[in-house]
Structure 1
Amino acid sequence: MAFLVVLVVAVAVVVLVMRAASAGGPGGSFGRPPRPRQPRPPRSSRPVAPDDDPEFLRELERRSRRDGGSPA
């Protein structure tokens, strides 16, 4: 029976803390001023992998022709 009372009290405390945090207004929880959000830098359009890079593919093709078509 005592376990049930402790459980109910713990749930009530959690609910009250969550309500107090959400009622803090625009300043966020517990009266802290909001942090200004930094805009994300634009993603570069660089190739992600070597086989996406046209310059790398041209160099590979050039080496392949120079070496007589050998794969390595």
Structure 2
Amino acid sequence: MMYLLALIAVVAVAVLCWKAFGPAGSSAPQRRSLGPDDDPEFLWRISRQQRRDEESGPAER
């Protein structure tokens, strides 16, 4: 029983040390990519294009 408790304690200490001093690559913030419907510049270009289309009148077909 003592060996089992000692093993659990050693594993717990190892995990804590790994979290504290392990590689820092996993703690870097991830960049979130924006979809076109979340991109303010894309939305601005679309609205500008729609205004131009409305101002030019109905398209001849």
The bucket for the TM-score relative to the shorter chain is 0.3 to 0.5
Alignment TM-score, normalising by the size of structure 1:
0.40
Output the TM-score relative to the length of structure 2: 0.43
Larger proportion of helix? 2
User: Larger C-alpha radius of gyration, 1 or 2?
Assistant: 1
